[in-house]
C-alpha cells in the first residue's frame, strides 16, 4: 500500500476534486469532519447511552461526547504519528508536505463517525438486535435470506451500520448514491474491520481487524469499490475481505484509549469505583517521576482526576504514535494486524482498569437495567414492525403500524422488487438509528402501555 493513494481526497462514490495550485483553507478531510457533525445520525448520538443512563446527580458521557473526545485524541494521534514518519522519511515529507495535518484530519473525521451506526441502549444494543434475529420469533422472516444475509442480522454490527449510513442514500430522499459523500481516505480509516460477516476460514489470519465485521452484504460492492480506490491489500477480494487502511489502527487506538479511561472516570465520579482505588491506579499508569501531579495540593479529588486523566491521555498518545511509526512499514505490507494499545508500557494497568470497569460500572444496577430494557424494547419494535411488513393480508393493525414508519424506511413506492433482506435492513436502520428515549416511547405507544403526550 502507498500513502499517496491511501490519502485519496476523491469523494465517494467517484467524485474528483477540482485541480488547485494551492492548499485549500478548508481541506477535503476537514470537510469530512464537518459533514459528519452536521448529519442527523451524528446529532442523534446526543441521546444515546454510552455506558451509564443519564443520572440526575452528575454528567456522564453519551455516544456524542465520547465521539467528540475520541476525535480530539485521534487528531493529535494522527498528526504526531505522521510527523514521526515524515522525520524518518525525507522522500515522504517532500512528496506529501501536508502529510501530518492530513493524517490528523482523516483520523479525527473517522473517529467522529466511529459510533454513528451504534443502536440505542448502550453497549448491549447490538446484542439486543442480534438476539432478536436469533430467536424463534424472527425465523419466519429470514427464510428467504442467504446465509451471509442472515449472519448480518444475527451478529448485528454497529460498524457495518455506520458504513451504511456514511455511504447510503434512501430512495425516498433522492436518487443520489453518495451517503454523506466522504473521501475515500476517511471511509477507509473508518473501517476498522474490513470484512463481511461471513468469510472463509482459509482466509482468516486471526488479526485484530477480524474481531468484527465492517459492512453488510448490501454494502459489499461499495466497500470493494472503496478498497480498490485506496489500494488496500486483499485477503479475499471476491468476498470483500481486506487488510486495514493503516490509519484505521489509529482510529481503533483512539477509541480504545478513550472508552477505557473515560468510562473509568465516569465510574469514579458516580461513586461506583472508589477513588482510593481508582486514583492510585491512574497515577501509577502516569508514572510521573517529575512529581508534577504531587506538586499541587488538591482540595477536590474530582479535579485531580481530571488533571491526571488529561496528562495520562497525552502520555499514551505520544507512546501510541511512536508505536505506529515503528510498525508502519509492516502495516503497509499487510504484515501487522494487532491492537496498538496492547503494546503500551502500562497495558497491565489498563487491563486492571478494564476489569474494575466491568465489575463495578458495566455490571452496576443502572447499566444492567437499561441493557435489560434494551432487549425488550428493541426486540419488541423489530417483531411488531416485521410482522406488519410481512403480513400478506395487510390487516388493519399492520397498515397502521407501517404508517408509523418514516417514509425512507418503507420498502414501497420508490423501488420495485425489494428483497426480504432489504426490507428487514430498512427496518433495522430505523430501529438502530433511534435514540434511547424515542425507542422507549414508541415501544410503549404501540404496546398500549402509554399514550402519546396530549391525550
Note the pLDDT tens digit of each residue in 306-315: 999 999 999 9
Q: Residue 257, by phi and psi: left (phi above 0), alpha (psi -120 to 50) or beta?
A: alpha
Output 297 or 228, whichever has higher pLDDT.
Answer: 228
**Confidence class for position 105, pLDDT limits 50, 70, 90:** very high
C-alpha to C-alpha distance for 215 and 120, rounded to whole angstroms: 19
Instruction: Decide if 231 contacts 2 (C-beta within 8 A).
Output: yes
For residue 299, pLDDT beyond 80: yes
Of residues 400 and 148, which shows the higher confidence score? 148
pLDDT of residue 58: 57
Confidence of residue 186 (pLDDT cuts 50, 70, 90): very high
> Which three cell numbers, joined as nine digits, stand for 146?
442467504
**Residue 254 clears pLDDT 80, i.e. is over it:** yes
pLDDT of the residue at 57: 52
Residue-wise over 156-173: b if at least 16 C-beta within 10 A, else e? bbbbbbbbbbbbbebbbe
pLDDT of residue 177: 73
What's CA 97's distance to the chain center, in Å? 30
Q: What separation in angstroms does the CA of 397 have from each of 8, 400, 424, 449?
A: 50, 5, 19, 16
Distances, alpha carbon 240 to alpha carbons 7, 184, 211, 250, 260, in Å: 20, 16, 15, 22, 31
Q: How far is CA 119 from the centre of its chain?
A: 10
Say yes or no to pLDDT of 18 above 60: no
Please state the pTM of the whole predicted model.
Answer: 0.92
The string of pLDDT tens digits covering residues 227-240 is 999 999 999 888 88
CB 164 within 8 A of CB 218: yes
Task: Report the C-alpha gap between 258 and 119 in whole angstroms.
Answer: 19
Mean pLDDT of the chain, nearest integer:
89
Model pLDDT for residues 50-70, shown as the tens digit of each residue: 777 655 555 678 889 999 999
Q: How far is CA 396 from CA 179, 201, 410, in A?
A: 35, 47, 17
Of 260, 312, 256, 257, residue with least CA distance to 284: 312
pLDDT confidence of residue 123: 79
User: What is the predicted pLDDT for the residue at 56?
Assistant: 54
Q: Which residues contact 437 (CB under 8 A, 6 or more apart)?
A: 47
Query: pLDDT > 70: what percent of the chain?
Result: 92
Amino acid at each position: 500500500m502507498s500513502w499517496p493513494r491511501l490519502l485519496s481526497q476523491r469523494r465517494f462514490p467517484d467524485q474528483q476534486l477540482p485541480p488547485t495550485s494551492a492548499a485549500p483553507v478548508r481541506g477535503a478531510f476537514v470537510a469530512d469532519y464537518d459533514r459528519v457533525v452536521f448529519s442527523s445520525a451524528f446529532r442523534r448520538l446526543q441521546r444515546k447511552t454510552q455506558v451509564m443512563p443519564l443520572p440526575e446527580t452528575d454528567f456522564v458521557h453519551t455516544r456524542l461526547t465520547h465521539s467528540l473526545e475520541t476525535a480530539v485524541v485521534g487528531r493529535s494521534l494522527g498528526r504526531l504519528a505522521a510527523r514521526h514518519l515524515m522525520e524518518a522519511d525525507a522522500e515522504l515529507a517532500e512528496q506529501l508536505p501536508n502529510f501530518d495535518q492530513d493524517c490528523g484530519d482523516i483520523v479525527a473525521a473517522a473517529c467522529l463517525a466511529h459510533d454513528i451506526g451504534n443502536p440505542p441502549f448502550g453497549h448491549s444494543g447490538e446484542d439486543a438486535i442480534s438476539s432478536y434475529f436469533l430467536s424463534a420469533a424472527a425465523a419466519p422472516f429470514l427464510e428467504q435470506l442467504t446465509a451471509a444475509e442472515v449472519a448480518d442480522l444475527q451478529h448485528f454490527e454497529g460498524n457495518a451500520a455506520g458504513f451504511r449510513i456514511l455511504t447510503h442514500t434512501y430512495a425516498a430522499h433522492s436518487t443520489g448514491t453518495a451517503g454523506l459523500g466522504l473521501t475515500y481516505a476517511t471511509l477507509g480509516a473508518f473501517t476498522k474491520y474490513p470484512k463481511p460477516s461471513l468469510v472463509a476460514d482459509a482466509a482468516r489470519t486471526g488479526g485484530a481487524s477480524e474481531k468484527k465485521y465492517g459492512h453488510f452484504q448490501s454494502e459489499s460492492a461499495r466497500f470493494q469499490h472503496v478498497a480498490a480506490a485506496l489500494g488496500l491489500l486483499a485477503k479475499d477480494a471476491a468476498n470483500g475481505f481486506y487488510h486495514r487502511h493503516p490509519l484505521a489502527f489509529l482510529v481503533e487506538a483512539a477509541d480504545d484509549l478513550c472508552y477505557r479511561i473515560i468510562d473509568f472516570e465516569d465510574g469514579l465520579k458516580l461513586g461506583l469505583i472508589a477513588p482510593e482505588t481508582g486514583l492510585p491506579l491512574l497515577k501509577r499508569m502516569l508514572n510521573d517521576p517529575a512529581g508534577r501531579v504531587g506538586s499541587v495540593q488538591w482540595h477536590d479529588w474530582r479535579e485531580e482526576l481530571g488533571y491526571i486523566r488529561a496528562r495520562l491521555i497525552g502520555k499514551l498518545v505520544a507512546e501510541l504514535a511512536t508505536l505506529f511509526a515503528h510498525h508502519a512499514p509492516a502495516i503497509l505490507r499487510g504484515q501487522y494486524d494487532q491492537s496498538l494499545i496492547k503494546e503500551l508500557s502500562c497495558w497491565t494497568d489498563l487491563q486492571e482498569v478494564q476489569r474494575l470497569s466491568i465489575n463495578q460500572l458495566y455490571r452496576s444496577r443502572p447499566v444492567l437495567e437499561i441493557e435489560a430494557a434494551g432487549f425488550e424494547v428493541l426486540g419488541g419494535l423489530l417483531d411488531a414492525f416485521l410482522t406488519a411488513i410481512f403480513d400478506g393480508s395487510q390487516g388493519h393493525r399492520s397498515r397502521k403500524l407501517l404508517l408509523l414508519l418514516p417514509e425512507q424506511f418503507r420498502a414501497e413506492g420508490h423501488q420495485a422488487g425489494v428483497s426480504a433482506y432489504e426490507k428487514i435492513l430498512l427496518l433495522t436502520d430505523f430501529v438502530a438509528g433511534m435514540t434511547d428515549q424515542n425507542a422507549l416511547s414508541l415501544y410503549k405507544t404501540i404496546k398500549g402501555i402509554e399514550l402519546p403526550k396530549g391525550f
